[in-house]
Chain A
Amino acid sequence: MTLTATRTRWLQDNGVYVAVVALLLFNALFTANFLTLGNFTTQLVQAAPVLIVALGMALVIGTEGVDLSVGAVMALAAAIIPLYLGAGPLVAITMALVVGLAAGAFNGFLVAEVGIQPIVATLALLVGGRGLALVIAEGQLVQLHDPAFLALGTGDVLGIPISVLIAVLLAVVVAGLTNRTTFGRQLVAIGGNRKAATLAGLPVNRVLVGVYAICGVLAAVAGVLATSRLAASDPADMGLLMELSAITAVVVGGTPLTGGKVRVLGTVMGVVLMQLVRATLIKHNLPDSIAQMIQAAIIIAAVYVARERR
């Protein structure tokens, strides 16, 4: 391997870390009030739901799939919460997670057993899921007052917000699942070559259903946390366009859309990078229009660097 090739390769693998460090340096030097604890906490709290969704998305993309329904599942989780909050926050949260699990398993069933392409299979739930959430909520935004439930989104442990702790914990669990379990190896094998995995006798369908179910549950967790932070159930706006944010973070983090590889730390960094970009643009008072165009350029640049050569 020539030096240039090695360098390109290194950049492909570590580009997202370089970008995060560069942006942090830039902000430390040129952004007022950036290096404050308050600011870091705000940024992390905002990024937590995206990270949780992106973790599930990374697993799905690792199987050469994609889950467009995550935003709709968040909306469903949000719509479920007020229905059961009367019976206690634990019941409400459990019900929301069960709905997420069911939605994800259904996606997985369509992909694995029926053999529908992931984009189309999850598109159906994206189209119908939010409508269903709105039907459940009768189109209403419901204010929530249960203090125990609201603590989830606003409380902290030793100064670290609970939602951030949950997101970090889930990232560690997903990393462990991917790198240290049979399930993780099977998942990557299926994404690399589904036919070969089938021929090798791997339980392809079971793993696929499992992966989509995990993605559904994680989306529901994100929906619960975001609802708690909002102190309201808002199925009309909850998780809108979340599928695009999550896919962007995963891809920017170096997990290829072609499957066969899952980079959990890269995904975390992808979420951090996109959040940093947004924060930087906002703190320098750039309008939304410029912010969106710059985000588009970053996505292209990241994918261009990480792309597989022909």
Chain B
Amino acid sequence: MTTPMTTLTAATRTKVLQRQGAAVALVLMVAVSWLVFPRFGSLDNLRDLALQGSFLAVIALGMTFVIITGGIDLSVGSLYALGGVLAAWGSQYGFLVALALPLLVCGLIGLINGLLIARTNMAPFIVTLASLLFARGLLLAITDEGANTYQIPPDSAFVELGRGTVFGFGYPIFIAAVLCVLGGMILNRTSFGQNVFAAGGAEQSAILMGVPVAKTKILVYTMSGTLAGLAGALTAAYLQSGVTVIGVGTELDAISVVVIGGTLLTGGMGTVLGTVIGVGLIKVIQNVINQIGTLDSNYQSVVSGVFLLVVVVLQRILRR
């Protein structure tokens, strides 16, 4: 009995350390930025920061679930763009269509991802790579090969969803926050959440123990697709149009923040809170680089890459 208990404690300790590592880094980053850049702490900047982070957080929330099951979802960047275009196109038929259409279509593509992965034993990497292409193709097909950018009527109620504010903080921030709290509770307090961990921790044992692994996988990919579509819809509402060129490489941003947040790509371990902290870190870094006006904007990706590297190397060393 002692051996499993010790492993458990060690694992828990590592988990806590990893999670707090990212949190400590975030607190430090914010504190330093606040002191060095006077504009960083201004309410306007913080509002902007939170809004920018909220779209990514919605996508990364779905990615967190997928990665905990030991999978990966490369299609979210394309689905994000597709969701935005569908929302903008649908807005001419009213609020409900503008919101429901992207969720349904992107959710359906996520469902197909899940079915292919769970039922045919194909690698998540390659299945979702194919749907990355497919979704981008679909987007081009409905936008006249990308030439047509659908506009959302400025007086439409749908625009309010992206541009409305409470105390100056945009609605998307609250939507993302509610979803992340819900996601965290689902992951940690429901049997579905337990199944997600079980599917990624030890798939064969989970199947033998009667965990509905296939069903769980289908659900997480459906969820990931739906959330990417929602993030696209929110972005379209905010931009008041369905921009066709967004979302290229967004899947990599989402994977990065999930990994920075301490969720292991091998599956079986991870937290929503970590992902939110990861989003915060990446967005603070980007924001700070923007504050240094003289710095080439290309440094953003260099710094993000170096940061990702430092975090994963540290995680690896901590785990030893």
Q: Which residues of A contact B (CB under 8 A)?
A: 66, 68, 110, 114-117, 119-121, 123-132, 134-135, 138-139, 244, 247-248, 251, 257-258, 287-293, 295-297, 299-300, 303-304, 307-310
Contact = CB atoms under 8 A, between A and B. Distances in A.
A72 to B, nearest CB: 9
B131 A139 contact: no
A136 B304 CA distance: 17
A128 B298 CA distance: 9
* 8 smallest beta-carbon distances between A and B, as pairs: A128-B305, A131-B301, A292-B137, A289-B140, A296-B134, A289-B141, A293-B137, A127-B305
A295 B304 contact: no
Contacts of B252: 68, 123, 126-127
Interface in B82-135: 116, 120-123, 125-127, 129-134
Given A296-B133, A307-B121, A309-B121, A257 B126 contact: yes
Interface residues of B, number: 44
A233 to B, nearest CB: 15
Contacts of B306: 124, 128
Interface of B: 72, 116, 120-123, 125-127, 129-134, 136-141, 145-146, 252, 255-256, 259, 265-266, 296, 298-306, 308-309, 312-313, 316
Nearest to B74: A244
B134 A303 contact: no
A247 B123 contact: no
A301 B247 CA distance: 26
B256 A123 contact: yes
A119 B74 CA distance: 12
Contacts of B309: 110, 124, 128
Contacts of B313: 110, 114, 116
B30 to A, nearest CB: 22
A66 B298 CA distance: 25
Contacts of B259: 120, 123
Nearest to A240: B248
Contacts of B316: 114-116
B123 A303 contact: yes
A307 B122 contact: yes
Contact of A131 (B130, B136, B302): B302
A300 B145 contact: no
Given A131-B298, A300-B130, 20 more contacts: A116-B313, A117-B265, A119-B255, A120-B308, A121-B312, A125-B305, A127-B252, A128-B309, A131-B305, A135-B299, A258-B123, A288-B140, A289-B137, A289-B141, A292-B133, A297-B130, A297-B134, A299-B126, A300-B122, A304-B120
Given A139-B298, A300-B116, A124 B305 contact: yes
Nearest to A134: B298
A155 B255 CA distance: 42
Contacts of B131: 296
A165 B1 CA distance: 64
A299 B129 contact: yes
B116 A290 contact: no
Nearest to A301: B130
Nearest to B301: A131
22 contacts: A114-B316, A116-B312, A116-B313, A120-B265, A121-B312, A123-B256, A124-B308, A126-B305, A128-B301, A128-B303, A128-B306, A128-B308, A128-B309, A135-B299, A287-B141, A291-B137, A292-B137, A293-B133, A296-B133, A296-B137, A297-B134, A304-B122
Contacts of B141: 287, 289-290, 293
Contact of A292 (B123, B140, B302): B140
Given A292-B136, A292-B137, A300-B130, A307 B298 contact: no
Contacts of A124: 305-306, 308-309, 312
A121 B305 CA distance: 10
Given A124-B312, A131-B298, A251 B137 contact: no
A270 B182 CA distance: 44
Contacts of A251: 126
B98 to A, nearest CB: 22
A203 B121 CA distance: 32
B255 A130 contact: no
Contacts of A303: 122-123, 126-127, 130
A303 B117 CA distance: 11
A50 to B, nearest CB: 15
Contact of B304 (A127, A287, A309): A127
